[in-house]
Amino acid sequence: MKRIWINVLTVLIYIGSQFFVLIPNIYFMKQGLSESDAFLKSIPYYVASFIVASILVIFINTRIKNKTKLERLPKSDTLATIGWIVGGFFISLFAQMIFGMINTYILHQPLESQNTKNIMDIAKAAPVFIILIAIVGPILEEFVFRKVIFGELYEVIKGPRWLAFTIALLISGFIFSAAHNDFDHTLIYMGMSLVFSSLYVLTNRIIVPIAAHMLMNAFVVIMQVVFADKVEEAQEQLKQTTQFIAPIIKSYLNL
């Protein structure tokens, strides 16, 4: 099949999986459950829809005949691929910390992401939701935001590859942020897009940003769900530390 139709179908499947939860949710509300109870009872169906969507997206993308130039380039070998996945995980955590500090102490945006908090609250109430956060969610997001949106923009933009990369990154990163409805933390989503897009370009394997994204999300879930109390203590210590660091960073940026 032609790549354009696979891309369109990939995006439609992703959107459909997002809205599928409305069907069981409405059904349970008609059975007399409150809105919150109906939503929680719908979570297993929501996760199932993402699992099915991920399988479909992976399958249809194997049917592409006219691949992009990036996808036709030599791919990283097995050892390098594993190295980039593990390294990408640590780089993503570091980037999240750095961009998070700039976003909070330089741009004066909220420290806590309401979107992340909502997701973690759902995971605590319905642990099956962790499957969506740590596994199938990253699969769909990387296919849509990295392979389809970033990849196609990187393909069609003419000129130096660094310029194509920058433009594709900015556009796909902003859409990535908008999809999470978390504009206060757009800079952080841009940072994540930078890491995952770089992994894709450096290895020519979509599995690399997918796996790194999975590891990052799984780590966040473990920290905020399993070790929530200790994370709160660490955040308070970090806040006290960054109160001293922030003026230095701000002074440097104003040079």
pLDDT at 117: 85
Residue 182 lies in a domain: yes
Q: pLDDT tens for residues 94-140?
A: 999 999 999 998 888 887 888 888 898 899 899 999 999 999 999 99
Same domain as 204, residue 83: yes
Q: What is the pLDDT confidence band of residue 255, given thresholds at 50, 70 and 90?
A: very low
* pTM of the full structure: 0.87
Q: Is the pLDDT of residue 180 over 70?
A: yes
Q: What is the pLDDT confidence band of residue 239, given thresholds at 50, 70 and 90?
A: low
Quickly tell me which residue has 């999986």 as its tokens. Answer: 17
Residue 170 lies in a domain: yes
Same domain as 108, residue 43: no
pLDDT (mean) for 197-216? 97
Of 230 and 199, the one with more pLDDT = 199
pLDDT at 85: 97
Q: pLDDT tens for residues 19-34?
A: 998 999 999 999 999 9
pLDDT at 105: 87
Which range is least confidently modeled, 1-15, 74-88, 101-115? 101-115
Q: Is the pLDDT of residue 231 over 80?
A: no
Residue 235 lies in a domain: no
Q: Is the pLDDT of residue 249 over 60?
A: no
Residue 27 lies in a domain: yes
pLDDT at 60: 96
pLDDT (mean) for 74-83? 95
Burial class (CB in 10 A: 0-12, 13-18, 19+), 191: buried
pLDDT at 88: 96
Same domain as 28, residue 98: no
> Among 45, 66, 87, which residue terminates a domain?
66
* 77 CB-side CA count, 13 A: 1
Known catalytic residue: 152?
Answer: no
Cα 189 to Cα 180: distance, rounded to the nearest angstrom: 9
Distance between start and end Cα atoms, the chain: 53
pLDDT at 246: 57
Residue 162 lies in a domain: yes
Same domain as 196, residue 97: yes
- Written as six digits, the tokens of 78 are 């097995």
Residue range(s) defining the domain that contains residue 194: 76-225
Same domain as 83, residue 30: no
Which range is least confidently modeled, 49-58, 64-73, 192-201? 64-73
Same domain as 163, residue 49: no
Q: Considering 35, 141, 233, 236, which one is annotated as catalytic?
A: 141
Residue 236 lies in a domain: no
Among residues 5, 152, 155, the alpha carbon closest in space to that of 69 is found at: 155
Which range is least confidently modeled, 62-66, 107-111, 173-177? 107-111
Same domain as 116, residue 199: yes
Average pLDDT, whole number, for the chain? Answer: 89
Same domain as 9, residue 95: no
Written as one string, the DSSP assignment of the chain is --HHHHHHHHHHHHHHHHHTTHHHHHHHHHTT--HHHHHHHHHHHHHHHHHHHHHHHHHHHTT-SS--HHHHSPPP-HHHHHHHHHHHHHHHHHHHHHHHHHHHHTS---SS-HHHHHHHHHHHH-TTHHHIIIIIHHHHHIIIIIIIIIHHHHHH--S-HHHHHHHHHHHHHHHHHHHTT-GGGHHHHHHHHHHHHHHHHHH--THHHHHHHHHHHHHHHIIIIISHHHHHHHHHHHHHHHHHHHHHHHHHHT-
Same domain as 218, residue 99: yes
Residue 232 lies in a domain: no
**Side chain identity, residue 159:** G
Split into its structural domains, the chain has a count of: 2
pLDDT at 182: 86
Same domain as 135, residue 186: yes
Same domain as 119, residue 60: no
Same domain as 100, residue 37: no
